[in-house]
């Protein structure tokens, strides 16, 4: 996983998975359905809620990013007004969505969309803010960069910001938060590697996809049962999705694909 300190390039990063996995009973059988925004050069789902609304973003032929929601088979396209790029990263069961947009000065901001209105989220004195997840209590998580270009995780709860840094890490990202307030994300270590983590209560637990050929592990989302979704990068260059359920890793691999990236799940383990 490549992370950039540039305000513009962060928004331009694209995952490789262009498909949605419907899996009723993930551990027994996997059923895949591909989705593509009409006319898009790439479609990138990022989150799914109880109503099976999928939120994400797509790239147009010019490479610009735009948000979308897939609602009962219909695409609802979304752009923050006057922005040069919009990404939806998270959605809760209240249909509140969070993400990132870039303004006309190439500055990145987080935002929340609720009740038809958009509110900008800017961590105080940050250079860049990204809102990556939201739970059913409308608590928002994400990351920001400081004036030195370093990434830190944050929680926005009742109007108050709390900073999170994984101990001994050089940078911290937060991917998601469940209704209990449990958090998952990814941190960078001193060797330049990326590892997943969970934060349950005040306890950080490292998440490493098993295998000697694993180069990076990313944790994206956690549901109310504590199931965690994410992906790993292998030394071969292959991306491998996973579901971590009851402390057991389960592979998610789309048949005949060169790689699979798993980004979001709901409380029914729909991915």
The tens digit of pLDDT for each residue in 89-101 reads 999 999 999 999 9
Q: CA-CA distance, 89 to 100, in Å (whole number)? A: 8
Determine the pLDDT at residue 250: 93
The size of the chain, in residues, is: 271
Determine the pLDDT at residue 31: 83
Contacts 24+ apart (CB under 8 A), 59-64: 59/14, 63/12
Determine the pLDDT at residue 246: 93
Determine the pLDDT at residue 8: 28
Q: CA-CA distance, 213 to 233, in Å (whole number)? A: 9
Low-confidence spans in the chain with pLDDT less than 70? 1-29
Determine the pLDDT at residue 129: 98
Determine the pLDDT at residue 232: 97
């Amino acid at each position: 996983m490549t992370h950039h300190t540039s305000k513009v390039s962060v928004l331009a990063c694209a995952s490789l998975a262009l498909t949605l996995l419907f899996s009723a009973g993930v551990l027994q059988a996997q059923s895949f359905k591909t989705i593509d925004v009409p006319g898009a050069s790439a479609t990138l789902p990022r989150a799914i809620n109880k109503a099976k609304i999928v939120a994400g973003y797509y790239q147009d032929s010019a490479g610009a990013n735009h948000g979308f929601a897939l609602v009962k088979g219909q695409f609802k396209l979304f752009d923050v007004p006057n922005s040069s790029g919009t990404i939806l990263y998270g959605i809760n069961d209240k249909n509140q969505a969070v993400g990132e947009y870039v303004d006309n000065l190439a500055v990145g901001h987080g935002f929340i969309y609720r009740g038809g209105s958009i509110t900008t989220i800017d961590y105080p004195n940050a250079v860049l803010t990204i809102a990556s997840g939201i739970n059913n209590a409308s608590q928002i998580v994400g990351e920001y960069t400081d004036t030195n270009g370093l990434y830190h995780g944050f929680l926005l709860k009742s109007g108050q910001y709390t900073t999170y840094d994984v101990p001994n890490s050089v940078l911290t990202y937060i991917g998601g938060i469940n209704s209990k307030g449990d958090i998952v994300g990814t941190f960078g270590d001193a060797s330049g590697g990326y590892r997943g983590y969970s934060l349950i209560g005040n306890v950080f637990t490292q998440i490493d996809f098993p295998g000697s050929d694993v180069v990076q592990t990313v944790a994206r989302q956690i549901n109310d049962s504590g199931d965690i979704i994410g992906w790993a990068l292998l030394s071969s260059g292959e991306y491998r999705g996973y579901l971590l359920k009851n402390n057991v890793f389960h592979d998610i691999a789309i048949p005949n694909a060169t790689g699979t990236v798993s980004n979001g799940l709901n409380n029914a383990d729909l991915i």
